[in-house]
A and B are shown apart, each in its own frame.
Chain A
Amino acid sequence: DAGVIQSPRHEVTEMGQEVTLRCKPISGHDYLFWYRQTMMRGLELLIYFNNNVPIDDSGMPEDRFSAKMPNASFSTLKIQPSEPRDSAVYFCASSLGLSGLSSYNEQFFGPGTRLTVL
């Protein structure tokens, strides 16, 4: 398997523009996570899905952020309108399970999308 795939790897845009980040999880994984990493706050969970259904979006910073998972093999994170403070690396991760005791629940991370909003 190619692992978790994210696109684009780098995105530079101007304030006010719409930004769409894409993620393809590992086939068969039921959980998909979107994380954001900044120097100030480190890694933060934004939202996660189970079987394409959003379970917890309490980490989504504002209404400008939205995430969808139309099918088991694709998810998007959209920022509209973008602002300079949204500049960060956005990671997508997937796993077979979530809680529990086994490596079944290990999360596999994509390479990240480095977003710069000017």
Chain B
Amino acid sequence: KNEVEQSPQNLTAQEGEFITINCSYSVGISALHWLQQHPGGGIVSLFMLSSGKKKHGRLIATINIQEKHSSLHITASHPRDSAVYICAVIRVSGGGADGLTFGKGTHLIIQP
């Protein structure tokens, strides 16, 4: 079982729909990233959070540490939101933190 699980793997929606992408993890973490990878391949960090909720424009990320679960929401989705969204955690182990451990990503397509 992967340490970081995302769902759904693929999501196709119509423009304007409210989008939710979920991430569950099974390890202790110090922080969680939501990353966006566009078709061109570049990776952009959307959020880094360790508690509560963060909002940036139409994007909202929440995390529940007790339940080891995070969600990424997109309001009023637009075709330019089409990308792969990747959940990544900074694990805490042994004497310190490790690098990022990634989920497999959610491939989102927003149709006009």
**A and B are partners in one complex rather than unrelated chains:** yes
Whether a CB of chain B sits under 8 angstroms from the CB of A107 is yes
How distant is the Cα of A59 from the Cα of B100 in the complex, in angstroms? 11
Q: Which residue of A lies closest to B102 (CB)?
A: A43
Say what secondary structure dominates the interface of chain B: strand
Interface flags for B38-76 (1: CB within 8 Å of A; 0: not) read 000111110010110000000000000000000000000
A-contacting residues, B8-49, CB 8 Å: 30-31, 33, 35, 41-45, 48
Q: Do residues A100 and B31 form an inter-chain contact, with CB atoms below 8 A?
A: yes
Query: B105's contact among A42, A103, A108, A112, by CB below 8 Å, is which?
Result: A42
What's the interface size class on A, roughly?
A: 20 to 34
Contacts of A48 in B (CB 8 A): 99
Q: Do residues B99 and A45 form an inter-chain contact, with CB atoms below 8 A?
A: yes
Q: Do residues B102 and A99 form an inter-chain contact, with CB atoms below 8 A?
A: no
Contacts of B105 in A (CB 8 A): 42-43
- Rank and list the top 7 A-B pairs by shortest CB-CB distance, nearest first: A99-B97, A99-B30, A45-B99, A109-B43, A43-B102, A48-B99, A106-B48
